């Protein structure tokens, strides 16, 4: 049994209760006991001053790729959970496109246990929609949920068959879980390696048009309406998608959406010089799309930020652009990028950012975190907003280094991450 912990004198921001004030936070027995002033000191309490810092519910990342089982050389549940803790995350959701695919209760249970064993950020598995992610047969949602899955997704691929997507939405409704879709129309996108536009024309690379995403977004929204199920749209990247989501929400449909830090920060110009660290799916788009995604986050049309952390071996990305795999890591830079670009950039207030990175994702996937209400798990992050640091991938806790932000100066990062009251990350993070 660990000692009670009092985080004293910080700026406490709890979006779940509209709280933003200087206060103390008392943690006991893995739970939040109280938040306020003059809380009293229980016996044996450890007092930590966090004056000048921000105390918030631990960040939650609902879209992460941990490569275990199958590709443990580029990331494991343990290393991913450690990297998450360094990024200020107390909970992450692991996508099922592992090898073999996480499409049954044994596989889900395995990921849960690996997460518990590692003892860093909580790891909540997402189960596959279809067996083997082959898009043919539904996986056993009930069994997977019973083993700990919090959602289903075939991410990496779209659910191509509208019939299967419809069935998935209806069936998922039984268990109260969302279906998270990777929106990509495969015949339009096939062979594409970056956004289809002027830059791709100049570089001589095949493009993925924005319409490839928007077509599936529109389809998923219609199916959500048809079935009453909850569809969660992964990594949105276009202004057209934003428009569709806005109108769906105006009509009160159960549609939620996420955006990654790289999609609201970088454009397709990052691909010039054929830098494979700018290659991901969906691709980086144009300035107009970046602007639309930022406004959407601000308005709440896009509910939350998720990293789509996708580790790859260093030499896999050392290839001609066409041949390199899609994806970049993001757990250890997500908050820094979001804070620098959105809060310092004047797009979002800090409480709104915390809401998008903690409270909202927790609520969407029905996770216990995202709040500092008494009785909630003691998943807390202490943030230093003035900490200026340079992204250095060679010092990541993640096994992989594929980040487009190497060398970038950021402001703000987690200096203490607690899960169930236990510190899982402390001090200046490695990316100094």
Partner 1 sequence: MTALGKDLVGLEHLAPEQIRLILDTAEPFKEVSERPIKKVPALRGKTIVNLFFEASTRTRISFEFAEKRLSADTVNVAATGSSVSKGETLVDTAKNLEAMRIDMVVIRHGASGAAQFLGSRIRSNVINAGDGKHEHPTQALLDLLTIRDKHGKIEGLKVCLVGDILHSRVARSNIWGLTKLGAQVGVCGPRTLLPRGIEELGVTVFRRIEDAIAWADVLNVLRLQLERMEKGFIPSLREYYRVFGVTVERLERAPRDITIMHPGPMNRGVEIDSRVADGSHSVILDQVTNGVAVRMAVLYLLAGGRPELADAAKRGGGAE
Residues that bind partner 1 (CB under 8 A): 196-198, 200-207, 273-274, 315, 318-324
Torsions phi, psi for 255 (to 5 deg): -120, 130
Q: Is 387 a catalytic residue?
A: no
Q: How far, CA to CA in Å, does 297 sit from each of 135, 168, 311? A: 31, 27, 25
Calpha distance 330→311 (Å, rounded): 9
Question: Least distance (Å) from partner 1 to the CB of residue 275?
Answer: 9
Q: How far is the CB of 372 from partner 1 (least distance, A)?
A: 48
**Least spacing, CB of residue 318 vs partner 1, in Å:** 5
Residues 6+ apart with CB under 8 A from 348: 297, 298, 342, 356
| Minimum separation from the CB atom of position 285 to partner 1 (A) | 13
Q: Of 24, 155, 268, 308, which residue is the catalytic one? A: 308
Is the CB of 24 or the CB of 286 nearer to partner 1?
286
SS3 189: helix
Of 179, 194, 195, the C-alpha closest to 234 is 179
Nearer to partner 1, 136 or 318 (CB): 318
Proportion of the chain in helix, strand, coil states, percent, rounded to 5: 35, 25, 45
Taking the C-alpha atoms of residue 342 and residue 264, their distance in angstroms, rounded to an integer, is: 9
Residue closer to partner 1 by CB (options 271, 297) is 271
Distance of alpha carbon 91 from alpha carbon 376, whole angstroms: 14
Q: Are 158 and 184 in contact (CB under 8 A)?
A: yes
Q: Encoding tokens for residue 242?
A: 């934003």
In the bound complex, what is the minimum distance in angstroms from residue 296's beta carbon to partner 1? 24
Per DSSP, 356 falls in state I
- Residue 205 or 244: the one with the smaller Cβ distance to partner 1 is 205
First to last CA, the chain: 33
Strands, E, within 219-306: which ranges? 231-233, 255-259, 304-305
To the nearest 10°, the Cα dihedral for 292, 295, 301, 302? Answer: 80
Q: How far is the CB of 344 from partner 1 (least distance, A)?
A: 33
Question: Of 84 and 278, which has the nearer Cβ to partner 1?
Answer: 278
Pick the closer one to partner 1 by CB: 246 or 279: 279
Catalytically active residues are 308
């Amino acid at each position: 049994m660990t000692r009670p912990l009092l985080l004293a004198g910080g700026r406490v921001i709890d979006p779940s209760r509209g709280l933003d004030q200087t206060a103390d936070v008392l943690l006991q027995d893995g739970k939040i006991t109280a938040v306020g002033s003059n809380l009293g000191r229980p016996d044996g309490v450890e007092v930590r001053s966090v004056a000048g810092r921000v105390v918030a519910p631990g960040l939650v990342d609902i879209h992460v790729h941990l490569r275990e089982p199958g590709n443990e050389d580029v990331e494991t549940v343990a290393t991913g959970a450690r990297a998450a803790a360094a990024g200020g995350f107390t909970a992450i959701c692991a996508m099922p496109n592992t090898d073999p695919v996480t499409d049954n209760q044994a596989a889900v249970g395995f990921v849960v246990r690996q997460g518990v064993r590692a003892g860093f950020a909580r790891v909540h598995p997402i189960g596959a929609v279809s067996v083997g992610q082959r898009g043919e047969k539904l996986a056993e949602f009930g069994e997977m949920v019973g083993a700990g899955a919090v959602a289903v997704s075939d991410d990496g691929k779209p659910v191509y068959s509208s019939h299967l997507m419809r069935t998935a939405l209806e069936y998922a409704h039984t268990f109260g879980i969302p279906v998270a879709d990777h929106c990509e129309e495969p015949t339009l996108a096939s062979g594409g390696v970056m956004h289809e536009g002027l830059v791709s024309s100049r570089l001589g690379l095949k493009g993925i048009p924005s319409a490839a995403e928007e077509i599936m977004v529109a389809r998923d929204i219609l199916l959500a309406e048809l079935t009453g199920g909850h569809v969660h749209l992964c990594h949105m990247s276009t202004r057209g998608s934003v428009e569709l989501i806005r109108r769906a929400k105006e009509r009160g449909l159960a549609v939620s959406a996420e955006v990654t830090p790289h999609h609201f920060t970088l454009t397709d110009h990052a691909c010039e010089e054929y830098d494979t660290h700018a290659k991901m799916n969906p691709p980086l788009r144009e300035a107009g799309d970046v602007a639309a995604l930022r406004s959407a986050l601000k308005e709440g049309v896009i509910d939350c930020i998720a990293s789509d952390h996708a580790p790859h071996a260093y030499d896999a990305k050392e290839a001609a652009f066409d041949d390199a795999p899609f994806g970049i890591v993001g757990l250890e830079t997500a908050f820094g990028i979001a804070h620098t670009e959105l809060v310092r950039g004047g797009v979002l207030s800090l409480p709104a950012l915390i809401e998008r990175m903690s409270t909202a994702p927790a609520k969407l996937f029905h996770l216990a975190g995202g709040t500092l209400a008494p009785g909630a798990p003691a998943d807390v992050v202490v943030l230093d907003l003035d900490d200026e640091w340079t992204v250095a991938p060679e010092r990541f806790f993640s096994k992989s280094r594929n980040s487009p932000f190497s060398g970038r100066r950021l402001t703000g990062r987690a200096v203490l991450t607690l899960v169930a009251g236990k510190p899982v990350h402390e001090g200046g993070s490695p990316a100094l």
